[in-house]
Structure 1
Amino acid sequence: MKGLTRTFLAGLAAILPIVVTLALVLWLSNTLEQGLGTLLKAILPDVLYFPGMGLLTGIALIFALGVLLRVYLVQGIFRWVEGWMERIPVVKTIHGVVRDVTRLFSGDIHERFGEAVMVTLPGMDARLVGFVTRSDFEGLPDTLGKQGTIAVYLPMSYQIGGYTLMLPRDRVEPLDLSLEDAMRYTLTAGVSARRDE
């Protein structure tokens, strides 16, 4: 019986990421097609509209937004909208989590984290993988960090959350891993790791 269960779980672990990814892509494409497709059907003559135009329009609009976000004025408007959302009690929590996760996995990881490090806590043999988020505390209170202090984020495995520790620089050692590989290793509790040869 244990062998059957193990085989089933191995199959589930293999197929689940594929199914979830496909379901997410299909949901997003259907949502774009239904929302923008309905709008385009109302605006365009039937001869010009074709199925999938809503999805293509959605992709084009997202790309256009990415281009516009390079303009200083649009960046200011976008920051103003984000600041407004950060003042609404429930919305600010959801928006903050989604924003941070998408920035983290959209190639923004190098701007968010300086380097991957190994942290040794005093009085413990255990070591933790962390990410330097701040090494300059200029403009912040001395109680947060002084000269030689760095901020290290320690993410929790399999969840969105973690701790930020203010540590002396000599309490950490750099890891010979890319930020992406170190983050993957940490978030999967050490199950997934890849090292570039």
Structure 2
Amino acid sequence: MKRYFLTGIVVLIPVVITIWVIRLVVTTLDQSFDILPIEWRPETLVGSHIPGLGVVAALLIIILTGAIATNLLGRKLLDMLDEVLGKIPLVKSIYTGVKQVSDTLFSSSGQAFRQVLLVRYPHQEVWTIAFQTGVPTLSIAQQLNEPHVNVYVPTTPNPTSGFFLMVPKRHTIELDMSVDMALKYIISMGVVDPATHAKTSPQSTHQPN
């Protein structure tokens, strides 16, 4: 009986959590219609609530925005929007910060979260997985006596929280592992085998004191 119970738990937990997350996303996106006047909302026009309509609308808006932003007129409109929002004191701080982060993370030319590393954390006798997010700014790099890299060390099992560190590059090991696989490895607390190997490099063979 105990074995059946534990097996059932192992099978049902991923299913239940997946359904809960999908339901949460769909419900949240469906609420996006709440910004419209009551007479314009789908349930008023159609006569009933249509689950998932907000998801479809959100996808269409994202695709349409991307299509507009890729042409010359769209880029000019975005530049105008940046200029207008950049003149509003409180909005400027929020918008500029979020835009810089999103540009860094989602830009095709960016390097953020494109390299999985092994770093020594929280002390020299322990290794953990981290994601390279870039390199220190010039003002910081000038204060350091050797090349460093910016890394994000996620927590387990919630990788959305973690620590930002600047680590000597020679104290890191580059892993031949995708970001998706690294996240699965972190979330599973090491249960999921990434089935990968570290790249052979001078850094990987170095053992810092």
Give the structure 2 partner of residue 119 of structure 1: 119
- Cα deviation per residue 1:67-113 (whole Å; 9 max; x = unaligned)? 3344433444258659844747xxx9xx96xx979x96x797x6422
2:177 partner amino acid: L
CA distance in 2, matches of 1:176, 1:153: 17
Aligned partner of residue 27 in structure 1, secondary structure:
helix
Give the structure 2 partner of residue 191 of structure 1: 191
Give the structure 2 partner of residue 157 of structure 1: 156
1:66-145, aligned counterparts within 5 Å?
Answer: 66-70=66-70, 71-76=74-79, 77=81, 81=85, 84-85=90-91, 87=93, 111-120=111-120, 124-135=124-135, 137-140=137-140, 142-143=142-143, 145=144
CA distance in 1, matches of 2:112, 2:23: 29
Deviation at 1:7, TM superposition (A): 3.9
1:27 partner amino acid: T
Query: CA-atom RMSD, angstroms?
Result: 4.4
1:72 partner amino acid: R
2:120 partner amino acid: T
CA distance in 2, matches of 1:61, 1:39: 21
Evaluate the alpha carbon distance shift between residue 31 and residue 20 of structure 1 in structure 2; reply closer, same or farther with a 3 A threshold: same
Deviation at 1:62, TM superposition (A): 3.0
1:73 partner amino acid: K
Evaluate the alpha carbon distance shift between residue 28 and residue 79 of structure 1 in structure 2; reply closer, same or farther with a 3 A threshold: farther
Quote the sequence identity (%): 17
Aligned partner of residue 124 in structure 1, secondary structure:
coil
CA distance in 2, matches of 1:191, 1:5: 20
Give the structure 1 partner of residue 201 of structure 2: none
CA distance in 2, matches of 1:20, 1:33: 21
Give the structure 2 partner of residue 169 of structure 1: 169
| Contact 2:111-2:133 at 8 Å conserved across structures | no
CA distance in 2, matches of 1:37, 1:63: 24
CA distance in 1, matches of 2:20, 2:141: 45
Aligned partner of residue 190 in structure 2, secondary structure:
coil
CA distance in 2, matches of 1:64, 1:79: 22
Evaluate the alpha carbon distance shift between residue 79 and residue 15 of structure 1 in structure 2; reply closer, same or farther with a 3 A threshold: farther
CA distance in 2, matches of 1:100, 1:15: 32
CA distance in 2, matches of 1:192, 1:80: 48
- Cα deviation per residue 1:100-143 (whole Å; 9 max; x = unaligned)? 79x96x797x6422411111359633211111112353244633
Q: TM-score, normalised by structure 1?
A: 0.63
- Cα deviation per residue 1:138-195 (whole Å; 9 max; x = unaligned)? 244633x454122222111123222222222110111010122123322442234545
Deviation at 1:2, TM superposition (A): 4.3
Aligned partner of residue 133 in structure 1, secondary structure:
strand
1:21 partner amino acid: V
CA distance in 2, matches of 1:33, 1:61: 13
2:150 partner amino acid: A
Evaluate the alpha carbon distance shift between residue 18 and residue 168 of structure 1 in structure 2; reply closer, same or farther with a 3 A threshold: closer
Evaluate the alpha carbon distance shift between residue 31 and residue 195 of structure 1 in structure 2; reply closer, same or farther with a 3 A threshold: farther
Q: TM-score, normalised by structure 2?
A: 0.60
Aligned partner of residue 125 in structure 2, secondary structure:
coil
Give the structure 1 partner of residue 63 of structure 2: 63
